[in-house]
């Protein structure tokens, strides 16, 4: 799957590795992820999207640049 994604220029979220063969992330049916497993999968998918689309972060930074929260907290971050 990774090779096809690379050939096609697509992002590939490796949810199998993210799950790490941890039994406690699998539902009692032995097939599907449980609620915590689904959160792990969702986190990996989100991380893959975020890494693959730097424009996504740029858009968030642009939209949040003028919020009250940013104006009040950003000066504390700068040396």
Question: Which own/partner pairs from 13-20 qualify as long-range (CB within 8 Å, at least 24 positions apart)?
Answer: 13/44, 13/45, 13/47, 13/48, 13/49, 14/44, 14/48, 15/40, 15/41, 15/44, 15/45, 18/43, 18/44
* pLDDT of res. 25: 96
pLDDT for 79 beyond 80: no
* pLDDT of res. 7: 95
* Average pLDDT of span 53-57: 81
* Average pLDDT of span 9-33: 93
pLDDT digit string (tens) for 26-45? 999 999 999 999 999 999 99
pTM exceeding 0.75: no
* pLDDT of res. 77: 75
């Amino acid at each position: 799957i990774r090779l096809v994604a690379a050939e096609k220029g697509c992002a590939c979220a490796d949810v199998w590795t993210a799950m790490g063969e941890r039994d406690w992330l699998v539902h009692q049916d032995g097939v599907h992820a449980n609620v915590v497993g689904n959160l792990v999968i969702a986190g990996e998918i989100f991380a893959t999207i975020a890494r693959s689309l730097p424009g996504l972060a740029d858009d968030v930074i642009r939209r949040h640049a003028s919020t009250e929260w940013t104006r009040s907290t950003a000066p504390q971050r700068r040396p």
